[in-house]
Amino acid sequence: MPSERSIVSTALSAALGQVWECIEFWTPLTSVIIILWLLYRPDHFYPTVDSAVLATLNLTTDEPPNLQYDLAVNVSFRNSHSRLSIRYLDISATAFCGSGTKLGPADDALPTPFRQGPKNTTVRPFSSQS
């Protein structure tokens, strides 16, 4: 019959083997993920609003009140990554007023998909009316 010491030693050896297998699996995987993140950081994307022109703003006193507006905005997209291009397929914008009231009937799509090269700033016009 095995002694208590040999049972504990066998259990400890099995547990250490499992820990070592876990370390052998996760260490290279984690290292690759960290290296890829450092090389291709996804946080180099900066959309900003450069200018906005509100050409028309009319609030009617009818029931229910109606807001008519004509808004033109220039949105610039900055890709400061030195190696990667960004491809924009479906971009939309929604305007909200004060307490979260949505202006306009639906999300307005920015015109045509485009590709932006590395270290580049692209300005796209956007207009919304109601």
pLDDT of residue 81: 79
Phi and psi, residue 31, nearest 5°:
-60, -45
What are the extents of the domains in the chain? 1-39, 45-129
Q: How far apart are CA 84 and CA 30, in angstroms?
A: 22
Chain-centroid distance of CA 94 in Å reads 16
Instruction: Quote the pLDDT of residue 100.
Output: 72
Q: One digit per residue, pLDDT tens: the chain, 130 residues?
A: 556 666 666 766 777 778 888 888 888 889 998 888 777 766 666 778 888 888 888 878 877 777 777 888 888 888 887 777 888 887 777 777 777 777 665 556 666 788 888 888 888 877 777 7
CA 108 – CA 22 distance, rounded (Å): 49
Residue 2 has a pLDDT of 58
Q: According to the model, what pLDDT value does residue 70 have? A: 81
Q: Looking at residue 90, what is its pLDDT?
A: 75
Q: What pLDDT shows up at residue 87?
A: 84
- Confidence (pLDDT) at 6: 64
- Centroid of chain to Cα 41: 12
